[in-house]
Amino acid sequence: MRDFFENFKYENRDMPRSTKVIYGTLAVLLLVFLMGRLIKTPTILIMIGVLMISIILHELAHGVVAYLNGDSTAKVMGRLTLNPIKHIDPLGMLLPIGLILMGSSFVIGWAKPVPVDYRNFRRGELSVFMVSIAGVVVNFTLAFVGATIIKFFPELYMSNDIVHMAIGYLIRINLVLGIFNILPIPPLDGSKILWSLGGDVIKDMVENLDRYGFFIIIALSYLGILWKIIDPMFGFLVNILNMYIRQG
């Protein structure tokens, strides 16, 4: 445990001291609250675990595909690893935990973006498209894997409550992550996908929106619009997976 915190401190060594104090205080408060909630609902820990694993695999996919397209930046910086310390973003970890504890129906989080240097890509815009869509593909694949387990290994799925809940969360969380990230709002993956496929006008629009993207996401979330966009797509994909599971 001591090594974990030492490595975590090292990976976030460039963070301002004031920010560390704020995150540290939030972490302590969440930990105290989390312990109380875990006593009543231990399933929260399963949800958090599935979310963190899914987010890390999402970012790792970007780095791996970038490497296959000629950019070794992520590899050089030690990001092509499953070690969570290399990927954890303090706010991206604390926010979803807080949302889960508050009983929010919409839970989202993020890891540190994998560094990518587009100048190293061999295939230009095609490489940008492949790298940008890689994380979303991983999320939808994980959801499909969960559905496949239910379809072909129902005994495993129903073997105990922990497995049952873990697979359920695997499907739901990754569908939400995939849909959320494919939205064409900077800095989400969907904006980069749109940039790679669009002409000069689209590229300029995406680049001009980049500085406002985070505020747009916050505003849409606060107004309840974000979930109204995600929910019908989520329901559509759940129906497709249900049809897949029920097919003989």
Catalytic residue ranges: 59
Assess whether the previous peptide bond of 187 is cis (omega < 30° from 0): yes
What are the beta bridge partners of residue 88? 111
In the 3-class helix/strand/coil scheme, how is 199-226 assigned residue by residue? CHHHHHHHHHHHHHHHHHHHHHHHCCHH
> Residue 146 is which amino acid?
G
Tokens representing residue 90 in the block: 């303090």
Spatial neighbors of 197 by CB under 8 A, at least 6 apart, are 125, 129
> Residue 51 is which amino acid?
L
Rounded CA-CA distance 247/172 in Å is 20
> Residue 155 is which amino acid?
E
Rounded CA-CA distance 53/154 in Å is 23
Q: What share of the chain is helix, strand, coil (3-state, %, to 5)?
A: 75, 0, 20
Rounded CA-CA distance 192/213 in Å is 12
